[in-house]
């Protein structure tokens, strides 16, 4: 079997918490892509308890580490779509991914719930960095 672990690096994006219970936007950490030629957001859902909630994913980019002047990533700069990375109430224990191939140094994702009036939201995510300028990547990731 071929090694992939030495060419991937992981960073926390959306930390898991016990439950989110409202429609507050879930904003990821800001990812610095310096030193890597590929970036993907990977998310996993838990069992969503609301019966009609939806979750819309947005990917933003900037050259500023604080995301000043951030703009939505153009469709041409994504692998997959924000629609495919979004999910709804009955997408329990499923994964979503959204790749970035743009030219900005920093990216961030926002998952915005709607209609979550009576349920708990369970979601977690990690940034997956690939095509490192220097390999192998650190283990454990830092």
Summarised one tens digit per residue, pLDDT across range 51-83 is: 889 999 999 999 999 999 999 999 999 999 999
pLDDT tens digit at each of 142 positions of the chain = 789 999 999 999 999 988 888 899 999 999 999 999 999 999 999 988 888 899 999 999 999 999 999 999 999 999 999 999 999 999 999 999 999 999 999 999 999 999 988 788 899 999 999 999 999 999 999 7
Supply the CATH classification number for the domain 7-129: 2.60.120.380
Rounded to two decimals, what is the model's pTM? 0.93
Domain boundaries, the chain: 7-129
Res 119: pLDDT: 80
Q: Residue 108 belongs to what H/E stretch?
A: strand 106-114
Q: What is the dihedral of CA 137, 15, 105, 102, to 10 degrees?
A: 100
Res 117: pLDDT: 81
Angle at CA 127, nearest 5°, toward 134 and 129? 20
């Amino acid at each position: 079997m071929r090694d992939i672990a030495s060419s991937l690096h992981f960073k926390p994006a959306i930390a898991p918490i016990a439950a989110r219970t409202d429609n507050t936007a879930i904003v990821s950490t800001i990812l610095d892509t310096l030193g890597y030629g590929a970036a993907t957001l990977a998310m996993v859902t838990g069992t969503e308890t609301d019966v009609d909630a939806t979750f819309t994913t947005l990917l933003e980019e900037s050259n500023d580490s604080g995301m000043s002047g951030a703009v939505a990533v153009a469709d041409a700069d994504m692998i997959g779509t924000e629609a495919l990375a979004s999910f709804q109430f009955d997408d329990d224990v499923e994964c979503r991914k959204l790749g970035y191939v743009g030219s900005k140094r920093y990216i961030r994702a926002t998952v915005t719930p709607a209609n979550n009036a009576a349920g708990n939201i369970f979601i977690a995510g990690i940034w997956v960095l690939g095509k490192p300028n220097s390999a192998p990547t650190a283990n454990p990731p830092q």
